[in-house]
């Protein structure tokens, strides 16, 4: 009725209630909106703790996120990066990317720390090295279309964009589910797999 999207309304709420430059408070305010106003398919606080734990354990210097959406996961990842690390995040929908860009900058992250790349992941991934300077990713967070998980993992492999010992963290592989990705990861012999049980967002 307002002519604005849910994502834009969430950002307006952030502007009104969140503390600029405080990533933790930005995420908390996002959570309040999603619990009490409108549901958004963000990672959320429960699964967010898994992401934070992995970041703490791995301390990755080069992180690739597939599926920026509103920037919630991006802020979550960026706040857990070690000094000197860089995050590349890819969003296929220009409208979502426009909101995410504002959220990321509101949280206080510069383009030197977080680079937002707009375009379909299958078109962006092959050019990450020459266009964006990503030589190899230490951590990949997949939170885009589940049907794209396996295709994009194979693209990352074929373009040699995964560092030795890299971690692939994929959301919602059981529900709504990415069965082909899961089967490949478990049976191809390249990965050690662990499934983290968690609730759905909010």
Tokens for 194? 């662990």
What lies within 8 Å, CB to CB, of 71 at 6+ separation is 99, 100, 101, 102, 103, 104, 107
Q: Are 64 and 138 in contact (CB under 8 A)?
A: no
Rg (CA), the chain: 16
Active site residues: 143, 146, 171-172, 201
Write the CA distances from 201 to 47, 54, 125, 175, integer angstroms: 8, 19, 27, 11
What lies within 8 Å, CB to CB, of 97 at 6+ separation is 68, 91, 116, 118
Tokens for 12? 């307006």
């Amino acid at each position: 009725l307002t002519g604005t999207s849910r994502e834009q309304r969430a950002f307006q709420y952030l502007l009104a209630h969140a503390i600029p430059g405080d990533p933790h408070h930005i995420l908390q305010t996002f959570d309040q909106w999603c619990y009490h106003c409108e549901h958004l398919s963000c990672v959320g606080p429960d699964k967010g703790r898994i992401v934070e734990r992995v970041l703490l354990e791995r301390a990755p210097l080069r992180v690739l996120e597939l599926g920026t959406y509103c920037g919630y996961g991006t802020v979550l990842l960026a706040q857990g990066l070690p000094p000197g690390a860089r995050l590349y995040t890819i969003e296929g929908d220009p409208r979502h990317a426009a909101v995410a860009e504002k959220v990321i900058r509101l949280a206080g992250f510069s383009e030197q720390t977080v680079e937002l790349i707009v375009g379909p992941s299958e078109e962006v991934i092959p050019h990450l090295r020459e266009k964006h300077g990503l030589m190899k990713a230490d951590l990949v967070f997949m939170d885009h279309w589940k049907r794209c998980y396996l295709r994009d993992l194979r693209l990352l492999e074929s373009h040699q964009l995964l560092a030795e010992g890299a971690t692939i963290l994929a959301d919602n592989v059981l529900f709504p589910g990415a069965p082909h990705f899961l089967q490949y990861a478990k049976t191809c012999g390249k990965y050690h797999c662990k499934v983290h049980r968690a609730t759905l967002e909010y």
